[in-house]
Amino acid sequence: ETGVTQSPTHLIKTRGQQVTLRCSSQSGHNTVSWYQQALGQGPQFIFQYYREEENGRGNFPPRFSGLQFPNYSSELNVNALELDDSALYLCASSYGTNGGDEQFFGPGTRLTVL
Amino acid sequence: AQTVTQSQPEMSVQEAETVTLSCTYDTSESDYYLFWYKQPPSRQMILVIRQEAYKQQNATENRFSVNFQKAAKSFSLKISDSQLGDAAMYFCAYRSGGGSEKLVFGKGTKLTVNP
């Protein structure tokens, strides 16, 4: 069974650019959640996709957008990058959206915005 | 909105000893779940233990156990017989029951295990 994978591992961008981060969910999982983890902080929820539809969104501006594909992999897109977008971006997959469903995390993508 | 507070930014423990990490949360909901996650320096977040709010019995997973005090909204993690591999950031997290979408995390506690 393959776990959650993310690509790329590291990324360096400049202010104003756009970035796409990718996540492959664990086999059998239909739900992907994205989190932003700033240095020294706990992860903050960005949004969740369930069966290709957005199923909830945290307090992030519209320039953070996402997609989920029929194979349940997912993309996080960030437009007009700002310095404060520098963070570790984590995705987590689960089977379903019930509060007790375990979310399995990927290793993250470290984004640096210069 | 739910909040999770971890008041200990850093903790240290001697190998083979016991350490307790604290967590408090605020919610008006009655149906929820609480979690402790471990994030080693390699970054991958791993679930350590889970507690359902409707269960009075404290969860236990091998050397890891929790002290869940629902009325006090407290959820501490006890690590017994600490090992060097336990060194990591530990995050307490809250999730509503039902069709909830998000985990709400605390700021974390960095645990150092001394040989």
Q: Cα separations (Å) of A27 from A6, A7, A75, A104?
A: 14, 17, 17, 11
Write out chain A residues lying below 8 Å of B4, CB-based.
Answer: 42
- What percentage of chain A has pLDDT greater than the value 70? 98
Q: What is the pLDDT of residue A98?
A: 75
Distance CA A28, CA A49 (A): 15
Of B43 and B104, the one with more pLDDT: B104
Structure tokens at B30: 């009655």
- The CA distance from B54 to the nearest CA of chain A, in Å, is 12
- What are the tens digits of pLDDT across the range A48-101? 999 999 999 999 999 999 999 999 999 999 999 999 999 999 999 998 777 678
Place of tokens 């400049």: A14
- A9 in contact with chain B, both atoms CB, cutoff 8 A: no
Secondary structure of residue B31 in the 3-state scheme? coil
Residue to test with chain B: of A4, A5, A98, A101, most B Cβ within 10 A: A98
- What are the tens digits of pLDDT across the range B18-48? 999 999 999 999 899 999 999 998 779 999 9
- What percentage of chain B has pLDDT greater than the value 90? 87
